[in-house]
Structures are given as structure tokens and as C-alpha cells.
A and B are shown apart, each in its own frame.
Chain A
Amino acid sequence: GIQVEQSPPDLILQEGANSTLRCNFSDSVNNLQWFHQNPWGQLINLFYIPSGTKQNGRLSATTVATERYSLLYISSSQTTDSGVYFCAVGSDKLIFGTGTRLQVFP
């Protein structure tokens, strides 16, 4: 089956810093989403981005489907950005990546 790998596995930032999270997938996909899991375990969808670029406030995402990767950019990070970021592929049976744990310190 399709493999979804994320990097880096862990990221520690000071408030205000920018970061880039990467998601690589082993086969072509029609759907890709980014999720944030907060420290209390709640998963929230950030982007649906099978291709192209989208922006939402301080977050933006880009998927290059032909090269099988997606990037999530976080600018001017805040402590509330802490948590685990997952990419997931598939339309119903989501296949989640390995996750990037982000810690933002004041």
C-alpha cells in the first residue's frame, strides 16, 4: 500500500519563528489533507490540498502531486501552534503520515 512519510519527526521553535513541514507519499494520490492534533488530542483539518497552494492566515500549504510531496508552512509561530501535524491521503480510508511533533516556546 501507499506509504506516507513526514519530516522532521520533531521540531522545537521559539515563538515568532517560521517552519516548513514536509509530507512525502509513495504513489500518486487524488486527495491530500493536513491536520493538526492539539495537545488534548483533537484532530482538526487545516487544508484539503490535492494540488497547488492554499493559504489560511499564518498557514499555507503546497502540494506537488507529480513529485509526490506536500509542504505545510507555518509563519510567525505561536504557542498555540504546538501539537502534532499529520498529512493524510485518500478520500475515505485516510492513510495518515507519521506526523511532525511541534513545540513552540514563548
Chain B
Amino acid sequence: SYELTQPPSVSVSPGQTASIPCSGDKLGDKYAFWYQQKPGQSPVLVIYQDSKRPSGIPERFSGSNSGNTATLTISGTQAMDEADYYCQAWDRSTGVFGGGTKLTVL
């Protein structure tokens, strides 16, 4: 079965750029999606179809996808961005999530 791999944790200083990778076999041939989940809350879509931002998502959130890796980038990271981030893709009509990355802003 298809797998997506994320680092368990990423740390960033306030105001700096955070990059969260997601790897999978030929992931660049698929669309990648990113979801943010804060403690006790439901997930929120922050990037869809590799690099598109839903309305209401700040411009500091961006995405890319090429080769075997999709990347979520948060520019000018703020304390409010501290959360778990999950990548997701579709493989043979079934959904696949990465294991999630805890972003710590310190």
C-alpha cells in the first residue's frame, strides 16, 4: 500500500521559515494536500492541489510538490502556527495520510 512519510517534529523560531517535507513514491505525480490540526480541534485544510491556498488561509502558507517530495512552507512563522501538520494524497481512489509533523515555534 502507498505510504507518505513525514518527520515527527520540526522546530522553528518566530519570524523564521518552517519547511515540512512529505515523501512518497512518485508523489510529484499526484496532488498533495496539507491539513493543520491544533490541540483539541478538527483539522483545517491549508494547502490543496500542491500549492493552492483556500480562502482565509494566510499567504505565509505555501506548498510545492516534485519528484518524491511535497513540502509545506510557512514563511514568517507565528506562534499561532504551532500545530500538527498532515500531508495527504489519493492513491488508487483511496486516501492516504502522512504520520503528521508537530511544528514547534520557539
Whether chains A and B associate is no
Measured CB to CB, the residues of A under 8 A from B are none
Point out residues on B near A: beta carbons under 8 Å: none
